[in-house]
Structure 1
Amino acid sequence: MSSATPPPECPAHASPGVRTGTGLLPLSSAVGSADPRAAYRKLREEWGNVAKVELEPGVPAWLVMGYRELLTITRQEQLFSRDGRKWRHMYDGVVSPDSGLLPMMGWRASVIGSDGAEHRRLRAPLDDGVAKMDQRKVRRQVEALCTDLIARFSERGRADLVTEYATIVPMLSLASLFGLDSTEGEELLNALIALFGSADDSQAGNRQFEEILLDTVRERQKNPADDMTTVFINHPNLRNEAERLQSIVVMISAGNETVTAWIAHTLRLMLTDPRFAAQLHGGRLGVDDALDLALWREPPMNNMPARYALRDTELGGQFIRAGDCLILGHAAANDDPAIRTDDGQEEWGNRAHLAFSAGPHVCPAQVPARLITRTAVNTALHLLPGMKLSIPLEEVAWRPSPWTRVPVSLPAEFSASRIPAGKPARKPAGSGR
């Protein structure tokens, strides 16, 4: 994401085989297709485990789809850098200064844009902030929020589980952790949807997102509070206001979009996969196992930008030039035939998926992400009996993005009931750990 600067519906039936004038597959068309796995498998047949794709018209990149190749580029900082200033297409005129890719891919003076000792210095505040989090308190707050949201629509017997639930829970939960109110949380959400879309409004969304958080940082500098913003302000590793701001930007932006997707995909599996739903409702499948199954099938970051080759090298049989951009294909790597069997049984109880990436830049917020997602799914499972999807599965559309795969909507029907707002849901039988 660029610190200097950092949607319409996506067709449900976008063809995974549509190519541009360059002959390369646009990455957003694969993510937004009805079956991304089919798109990635076609790429693998054509290219092998490392395929050339298009990020936006005229901007190529390598999509790393092999499980072992992905581990290679995430673990070898001396060869594959996270520093966006190493991207040669930024300086040869291929990427426009107003490109919608820059909020996600441009360099930031943050943990995302650094390697080695500098990365470890900037990573420590994130790890320390998560470690200081009162998980029981957060779980109670998230459960009360989820119950309140469901109480708004439970008597109708129908709701859009994305727009009325999955998109709201993580942002309001994270906003509360950082001391923002619900109005500010909704403003952040709208800005983030634009930012992750990497389209024409991406840079404007990034600016709005940072302005809201900068106001909060400056307010907490004057009036400290018991929140995560104050924790970051006081951390000795963060040397100035810009580093404090960017650390908060990373935590909220990465946490919100991915948790939204994780909640939505788990609910979608409950609504559309009879075997999954039966195992979950019958108590044979714990919620944590269900969450990991969702991560295997639909990792929230289908593709993660990026690594940049520091010298000419070879990867997966492809010649990689110094300065080339490599995208981490989490979804494709989870589907790599080298680690998967046809029946998918290895998914149950298996956390070897790459949904949280790997190496030094592995997601620092796995604990709060799982806590919020588990609580949201548990609450919906208990309070919305008889859930079923209101539209055919093939009509589910996806937000446009080359990175995240989030449903535009998930209309569902369930048994209508009145739920008192603010009353936490009981933990259902078989709900897992």
Structure 2
Amino acid sequence: MTAATFRREPGAPTSLDDMTGLTPLVSTTMCPEPQHVFTKLREEYGPVAPVELEPGINGWLVLGYQEVLTVARQEQAFAADPVNWSVNRDDRLAPDSRIRAMMTPYDNAFFTDGERHRRLRAPIDAGLGRIDQRQLRRAVAALCTDVIADFVGRGEADLVADYAAIIPVLSMADVFGLDAAQGRALYKGLLELYSWEGDAAAAYGRVVGLIAEAVAARRTAPTQDLTSFLTEHPDLHSDAEIYDTMLLLIVGANENAINWISQTLRLMLTDARFGGRLRGGRLGVDDALDEVLWRDPPFTNVAARYALKDMELGGQSIRRGDALILGLAAANADPRIHTGGGTSAEVGNRAHVSWSAGPHSCPARLPARLIVRTAVETALHRLPGVRLAIPAEEVAPVDSAWTRGPAALPVRFTPVQQFGSDQP
């Protein structure tokens, strides 16, 4: 069924709420090959497709490259603040909704628009711009070496739980001036907060408590870290805004980097062409990272923008209050922007939309790349003969509608009792 017949059939649904039997958004992430799902949706609906966000809640998945740019850049037509979503206005999300965390209002730069967004975003951009890249690289390299030292003698590990899930949060903790014990406590709190197990409210309280302690300490004795900078920034008007800004930076950078590291290591271990070129030096690490951003970006889908008026987009009638999910992986694979060869032909080209676009584009792409590049390089050097311990088809994605990062990467390698002095 084409988009035109979908709209014009007698008795056809006239709004998202009336549509049934839609493809679940999670089918774009919890599947062996999302491109098959994207192709099916494009053939049926075009570059903007109705999907089921969760049972009883629908939205639009923006599949087209140009359409994603339109939605991401035009804040006068598409808001980031979830108060504009009709589902929130009607209080239709269940208390245990799996999409609630990404689609309900929070008082930080990610969920605000206009002048308020620009005020809250300014300290983030300025603070990240002050990071000493060389110092950060040295700190991350030392951290990666220490983390690998915990398991390198065993000859086996899970490169997600034992490595990729640890490096980014501890790296960001260092940027914020947290010591090793505080960094580990932050890691444990975030792990519980986003695991869908245990008491999420209590975990959130512990994480914010750690942030509050750091802010209080910097007020007494300022340093050169990012916590001091944000604590003193005139655009942050309250402790709550400082805490929310720090939490947004920590969580955003952490989730992006975890998924980027995991996806790069997954491809290295499961794709013979990719792994061979990377291990053999024919594909530089930065080129490998770019290929991953095109093929399987850290976030497959990003929530969300909310229509501020009735309009047409990609041949679909969008109503005020509708939610539009940015399909970053789908947009990167839009056949209208490729001349042939698939996304792997785009190595060296950074015109992908994996960082989104417009006023809400990811501000942490440079430190994230540095952390991810260092983590991948260190794993390549420190884990001799590393190989996947299970069949490639058994590598399952995390249970999420937003990312296809692997839930686990069990590997085996030659046990090493101590590192040679000539290794980086």
TM-score normalised according to structure 1 size: 0.87
- Would you say the 8 A contact 2:332–2:343 is kept in 1? no
- Would you say the 8 A contact 2:295–2:343 is kept in 1? no
Please show how residues 172-321 of structure 1 align to structure 2 within 5 Å. Answer: 172-193=170-191, 205-321=203-319
Q: CA deviation at 1:409?
A: 0.9
- Would you say the 8 A contact 1:314–1:320 is kept in 2? yes
- The one-letter amino acid of 1:110's match is N
- Would you say the 8 A contact 2:291–2:344 is kept in 1? no
C-alpha separation in 2, matches of 1:375 and 1:35: 28
C-alpha separation in 2, matches of 1:202 and 1:46: 39
What do the CA deviations read for 1:103-135 (whole angstroms, capped 9, x no partner)?
Answer: 222112221122222222211111111111111
Instruction: Report SS of the residue matched to 2:127.
Output: helix
Q: Which residue of 2 aligns with 1:384?
A: 383
Q: Does 1:350 align with 2:358?
A: no
Structure 1: tracts of 5 or more residues without a match: 1-20, 427-433
C-alpha separation in 2, matches of 1:99 and 1:144: 39
Q: CA deviation at 1:141?
A: 0.6
After superposition, the Cα gap between the structure-2 partners of 1:144 and 1:276, relative to the gap in structure 1 and judged at 3 Å, is same
- The one-letter amino acid of 1:406's match is G
- Would you say the 8 A contact 2:291–2:343 is kept in 1? no
Q: Which residue of 1 aligns with 2:14?
A: none
Q: CA deviation at 1:198?
A: 7.5
Deviates more, 1:150-159 or 1:359-368: 150-159
- Would you say the 8 A contact 1:52–1:62 is kept in 2? yes
- The one-letter amino acid of 2:117's match is H
- Larger of the two Rg values belongs to structure: 2
- Would you say the 8 A contact 2:302–2:326 is kept in 1? yes
Q: Which residue of 1 aligns with 2:61?
A: 63
- The one-letter amino acid of 1:176's match is D
Please show how residues 38-187 of structure 1 align to structure 2 within 5 Å. Answer: 38-96=36-94, 99-187=97-185
C-alpha separation in 1, matches of 2:197 and 2:88: 17
- The one-letter amino acid of 1:396's match is V
C-alpha separation in 2, matches of 1:57 and 1:202: 22
After superposition, the Cα gap between the structure-2 partners of 1:39 and 1:293, relative to the gap in structure 1 and judged at 3 Å, is same
Deviates more, 1:143-152 or 1:44-53: 44-53
Instruction: Report SS of the residue matched to 2:150.
Output: helix
C-alpha separation in 2, matches of 1:399 and 1:296: 19
- Would you say the 8 A contact 1:71–1:358 is kept in 2? yes
- Runs ≥4 in structure 1, deviation > 6 angstroms? 197-201
C-alpha separation in 2, matches of 1:205 and 1:397: 26
Structure 2: tracts of 5 or more residues without a match: 1-18
What do the CA deviations read for 1:259-286 (whole angstroms, capped 9, x no partner)?
Answer: 0010011111111122212222222211
C-alpha separation in 1, matches of 2:98 and 2:344: 39
After superposition, the Cα gap between the structure-2 partners of 1:198 and 1:334, relative to the gap in structure 1 and judged at 3 Å, is farther
Q: Which residue of 1 aligns with 2:12?
A: none
After superposition, the Cα gap between the structure-2 partners of 1:167 and 1:292, relative to the gap in structure 1 and judged at 3 Å, is same
Please show how residues 28-43 of structure 1 align to structure 2 within 5 Å. Answer: 28-43=26-41
What fraction of aligned residue pairs are identical, expressed as a percent? 50
- Would you say the 8 A contact 2:396–2:407 is kept in 1? yes
After superposition, the Cα gap between the structure-2 partners of 1:41 and 1:199, relative to the gap in structure 1 and judged at 3 Å, is farther
After superposition, the Cα gap between the structure-2 partners of 1:236 and 1:300, relative to the gap in structure 1 and judged at 3 Å, is same
Q: CA deviation at 1:208?
A: 4.4
Q: Does 1:401 align with 2:422?
A: no
What do the CA deviations read for 1:364-386 (whole angstroms, capped 9, x no partner)?
Answer: 00111000000001111111122
Instruction: Report SS of the residue matched to 2:172.
Output: helix
- Would you say the 8 A contact 1:143–1:424 is kept in 2? no
- Would you say the 8 A contact 1:143–1:425 is kept in 2? no
What do the CA deviations read for 1:183-231 (whole angstroms, capped 9, x no partner)?
Answer: 4434434544565567996666545433432333233333433321111
What do the CA deviations read for 1:326-358 (whole angstroms, capped 9, x no partner)?
Answer: 111111111111113344443211111111111
Q: CA deviation at 1:180?
A: 2.6
Deviates more, 1:411-420 or 1:68-77: 411-420
Corresponding pairs, count = 405
- Would you say the 8 A contact 1:100–1:203 is kept in 2? no
RMSD: 2.3
C-alpha separation in 1, matches of 2:255 and 2:180: 17
- Would you say the 8 A contact 1:194–1:205 is kept in 2? yes
TM-score normalised according to structure 2 size: 0.89
After superposition, the Cα gap between the structure-2 partners of 1:36 and 1:186, relative to the gap in structure 1 and judged at 3 Å, is farther
C-alpha separation in 2, matches of 1:301 and 1:272: 20
